[in-house]
Amino acid sequence: MRGVKLALLAGLALLGVALLLTLLASPMTVAATNKVPGSEAPIGATTTGATYCQSHEALPRGTSAIRIWLDASAGPRVSAIVYSRGRVVASGTRGSVWIGGSFTVPVKPLARTISGTTVCASFRLHDETIVIQGMPSSRATAAHDGRHALAGRMGVEYLRPGTRSWLSLGSEVARRMGLGRTPGGTWIALVALALFASAVALTSRLLLRDLA
């Protein structure tokens, strides 16, 4: 009986702490991007391994993740490396089997803004097709695979933790949850919260009743 109560209390307390830590952290925000709204388009595709690089990039201070727009249905392991004057200033790897129009690579947070960098994405492929998404540009500034230029620049976003915590963004998230649905409104978030809280309360009650 005591063991069960203790396990439940300890488990829920641990969850509470993890939740609090999560809510006190800040979500990643886009510090900089080369995206030009409305002009995104496929700029190349490959079915073999490749290393795509593009120069004239700037990494903002505090960048702790880089998002590159490659599209795959089961993406391969990808390495992202950023060079500045021939030196590696940031690098990271994303494991295989990612899905969708972009992948994000965590990197060691940068202490200062670095301009004039070259961003490269490397991967090897077997049967998969990778589509490179980006913005059309002149051949001179386009991304390239070492031999050929693509039809534009790869979409790249530099991410860093925002200034506000998830907790302080709660009302904003609740407002957005209420948009784009019928019935809509901020109350949707409260109903979701109430549903989940009821499920947890019932679970705790059942555990104490049947296991204690």
Task: Give the residues lining the site for other proteins (CB under 8 A).
Answer: 1-4, 6-8, 11-12, 14-15, 18-19, 22, 27, 30, 67, 69, 71, 73-74, 76-77, 94-102, 104, 106, 124, 126-129, 157, 166, 169, 173, 176-177, 179-184, 188-189, 191-192, 195-196, 198-200, 202-203, 206-207, 210-212
Least distance to other proteins from the beta carbon of 192, Å?
A: 4
What is 16-80 written as a DSSP string? Answer: HHHHHHHHHSPPEEEEEE---TT--EEEEEESS-EEEEEEEEEEPTT--EEEE-EEBSS---EEE
Which is nearest to 188 in space by CA: 177, 180, 199, 196? 177
Token pair of 40, please? 């995104």
CB nearer to other proteins: give 17 or 116: 17
Token pair of 156, please? 């790249």
CB nearer to other proteins: give 22 or 115: 22
Token pair of 144, please? 């390239």
Least distance to other proteins from the beta carbon of 17, Å?
A: 11
Least distance to other proteins from the beta carbon of 109, Å?
A: 15
CB nearer to other proteins: give 52 or 123: 123
| CA atoms lying within 13 Å on the CB side of residue 143 | 30
Least distance to other proteins from the beta carbon of 166, Å?
A: 8
Least distance to other proteins from the beta carbon of 87, Å?
A: 26
* Pairing label, strands 114-123, 50-59: antiparallel
Residue 40 contacts residue 155 (beta carbons within 8 Å) = yes
CB nearer to other proteins: give 151 or 174: 174
Least distance to other proteins from the beta carbon of 66, Å?
A: 12
CB nearer to other proteins: give 23 or 58: 23
4 DSSP assignment: H
CB nearer to other proteins: give 100 or 116: 100
**Measured distance CA(12)–CA(128) in Å, rounded:** 43
Collapsing DSSP to helix, strand or coil, 122 comes out as strand
